Amino acid sequence: MIVPDRSVKSIILPARSVLVTELPPRTNEPKEPFSTIISEHAAEISSWTDRRTITYSTTTNVPYKFELILRGTKDGFSPQTFWNICHGHKGTVVIIKIKGTYEVIGGYNPLTWDNTYINNNFEKVIDSFIFSLKNGNIQHSILSRVKDSMNSICNVYKHGQKEVGPHFGDFYLHNTNSSFCQIRTSNYFSIVNYEVFKVIKQ
């Protein structure tokens, strides 16, 4: 029975307040490396891009960011894949790991890759270069700058009926070169992986 003006005792407890605790983000998860082929070599390549005689120190801020565009083991190795992904990108470096050796070679193209050409379309450029990097039992890096500026970069995805990948003079993924000084002794090689980075001034 309800009696006016008499206090009521209740055994029902009030609603509990819910305390929401936000966990901090995990910091011990390993960070994915920017490249599966190179590490400290980015400082060396950046120095060559700026034509420095002294290599940038890996302990200081390198003035370039290497932004991954293509990775062969992820995107595929066909020449058409290169041209589909890299078309329109300017200022890129191609890094190639050769099968069966410690060799890591590559080239820098300051111009824009263009897949609209068929057969030879050589570009005139003086700031392109190719290289072989110090790695494993290879004690010294080799830098080769342009010696024939009229034939240093070739925007072509087909040479006759043959599709080809990035083309530095006569050097394109499986050949050596004539527009640069030679960086290896054998004319042909197979690759384990290759990566293309856009080199961006920070």
Mean pLDDT for each 10-residue chunk of the chain (202 residues)?
53 57 61 84 93 84 92 91 91 91 89 75 77 85 76 60 61 41 66 93 88
The confidence score (pLDDT) of residue 148 equals 63
Residue 30 lies in a domain: no
The confidence score (pLDDT) of residue 173 equals 40
Per-residue pLDDT tens digits for 58-109 = 767 789 999 999 999 999 988 888 889 999 999 999 999 988 888 898 889 8
Cα end-to-end span (Å), the chain: 80
> What pTM does this model have?
0.74
Residue 89 has what DSSP assignment?
-
Q: 3-state SS of the chain: helix, strand, coil percent to 5?
A: 10, 30, 60
The confidence score (pLDDT) of residue 178 equals 41
What is the domain count for the chain? 1
Pairing of strands 158-159, 104-112: unpaired
Please name the residues in contact with 192: beta carbons below 8 A apart, sequence gap of 6 or more. 97, 98, 99
Residue 9 lies in a domain: no
Alpha-carbon distance values, 162 to 109, 113, 114, 118, 119 (Å):
22, 18, 17, 10, 9
Residue 107 lies in a domain: yes
Which structural domain, as residue segments, surrounds residue 70? Answer: 41-201
Residue 106 lies in a domain: yes
